[in-house]
Amino acid sequence: MGVEVFPPALLAKDKWEEVVVFLIQLPIPPRRKKQLIVEWAKCVGAVLTHEMVEQVLGPLAGRV
């Protein structure tokens, strides 16, 4: 499971807010969500920040 889990409409930098909602709703472990964030950022050429990871995983994002 990689970027192919994202609907094609979400594979753009300006879709970050929609990506957050999509990832929060996925019934997968936080570690896998973090991997997907990294893959999405690489795919669309976005700079991944700690704040972006926290938006999906919450304040404990650094522990995942």
- Residue 11 included in any domain: no
Say if 9 falls within a structural domain: no
Judge whether 61 lies within some domain.
Answer: yes
Q: What are phi and psi of 54, to 5 degrees?
A: -65, -35
Output 36 or 58, whichever has higher pLDDT: 36
Split into its structural domains, the chain has a count of 1
Residue 63 lies in a domain: yes
What is the 3 state secondary structure string of 33-52?
HHHHHHHHHHHHCCCCCHHH
Domain that holds residue 53: 29-64
Residue 5 belongs to some domain of the structure: no
Whole-model pTM?
0.87
Average pLDDT score, the chain: 91
Is residue 58, in this structure, part of any structural domain at all? Answer: yes
Reported as a single tens digit per residue, the pLDDT across 10-39 is 999 999 999 999 999 999 999 999 999 999
Longest CA–CA span in the chain (Å) reads 30
Does residue 23 lie within any of the structural domains? no
| Distance (Å) of CA 34 to CA 21, 40 | 14, 10
